[in-house]
Amino acid sequence: MKRVVLFINGELRGEKDFYLNYIRDNDKIICADGGAKHTYKLGLIPDLILGDLDSIPAEVFNYYQKKGVEFAKYPANKDKSDTQLVLEKLIGESYDEIILFAALGGRLDHTLANLYLLEHFNADYFNIKLISQYETVELITDEKQIVNKINKTVSFLPLTKEVKGVYLTGFKYKLVDAVFTRGDTLGLSNIIKSKVAKVQISKGKMLMTINN
């Protein structure tokens, strides 16, 4: 599986070892601007640092320059976030999965923007997950199996006005052909009770969050 790990300029919640253990040897590591601060603290050498480069401390910038890391600089006055610019750059490069670190927590507006990017790019281009030590967020548009997460808390939050044909199997609260409505909390705080749980929908989009 071709995978990108993208560090963005948000709050990297949790312990260093969680992130170091998650990364595989063949992952491509990219930093969206100030995300380079996180890789620097973790002792990682990214393959690319992209953005307007206004959020990188001089110490980090100079260190990665000496290491020969590739930089892609964009104008400071732009209409898109550095994270969106990275995702657009990756379109067509045949990656199976994009992992976003430091996308949750910190500024609420940035967290919400990252969730919207998850919806925008996930549907047409690649599978994106927003991950911290405490939760994983991904988009559900059809069906998904959840493996080896027994007793973990999971929530489903509609992005579209309605999510129809919702089936939940292997959960404490099972559902058959249910409808989730945006603004309602029916999908909040379920519990996984099977080694392999399954969620399936026939129409709409929703976020799934799992406590790690």
Task: Supply the pLDDT for residue 58.
Answer: 93
Structural domains in the chain plus CATH codes: 3-133 (3.40.50.10240), 140-211 (2.60.120.320)
Task: Supply the pLDDT for residue 124.
Answer: 66
- What is the residue-level pLDDT of the chain in tens, covering all 212 positions? 789 999 999 999 999 999 999 999 999 999 999 999 999 999 999 999 999 888 899 999 999 999 999 999 888 778 888 899 999 988 888 888 999 999 998 889 989 999 999 888 876 677 899 999 999 999 999 999 999 999 999 999 999 999 999 999 999 999 999 999 999 999 999 999 999 999 999 999 999 999 98
- As a three-state string, the secondary structure of 10-55 is CCCCCCHHHHHHHCCCCCEEEEEHHHHHHHHHHCCCCCEEEECCCC
Cα 190 from chain centre: 21
Cα 25 from chain centre: 19
